[in-house]
Amino acid sequence: MTDENWSLIGRTKVDDLYIVAALSGFGSMAACAAGSLCADWVAGGKKPRFAKPLSIARYEDTALMSDIRSRRNKGML
Ligand SMILES: Cc1cc2nc3c(=O)[nH]c(=O)nc-3n(C[C@H](O)[C@H](O)[C@H](O)COP(=O)(O)OP(=O)(O)OC[C@H]3O[C@@H](n4cnc5c(N)ncnc54)[C@H](O)[C@@H]3O)c2cc1C
């Protein structure tokens, strides 16, 4: 689980290493969509607009991270 309780899905900084991680308390429900999204990363095709925010690359987006961290509700199940 990440501090912000958002999963980590997709490409990493290591070549050919992709992750589906930090599924927190919703991993059973999110498994198929998470796997599909990760497959999009592997295939390198068009990805939905939420792909980057759900990837490890979001930590480089200071505006997004500031917004996420300011939220009081982390969506804890
Ligand atoms: C009490 C509880 C209730 C939940 N209820 C829900 C729910 O209602 N709905 C929902 O969507 N999600 C729910 N979840 C969350 C869901 O179970 C998880 O998000 C999901 O199981 C995560 O899947 P995973 O494959 O990433 O990790 P895991 O299911 O944790 O699998 C990781 C596997 O890796 C193995 N492993 C760990 N370290 C090593 C190692 N060094 N070498 C080899 N193997 C290793 C572990 O033994 C384990 O089998 C619940 C979780 C809990 C704890």
Q: Among 45, 43, 21, 46, which Cα is nearest to 34's?
A: 21
Is the beta carbon of 32 within 6 A of some atom in ligand 1?
no
Select from 7, 28, 32, 76 the residue to mutate for testing ligand 1; criterion: most ligand atoms less than 8 Å from CB: 28
What pLDDT is stored for residue 57 in this prediction? 97
DSSP state of 4: T
What pLDDT is stored for residue 76 in this prediction? 86
Predicted TM-score of the model (pTM): 0.88
Q: Among 13, 6, 18, which Cα is nearest to 54's?
A: 6
DSSP string computed for 5-72:
---EEEE-SSTT-EEEE--GGGHHHHHHHHHHHHHHHHHT----TTTTTTSGGGGG-HHHHHHHHH-S
Q: Render pLDDT for 26-51 as a digit per residue (tens, 0 to 9).
A: 999 999 999 999 999 999 989 999 99
Is the beta carbon of 25 within 6 A of some atom in ligand 1?
yes
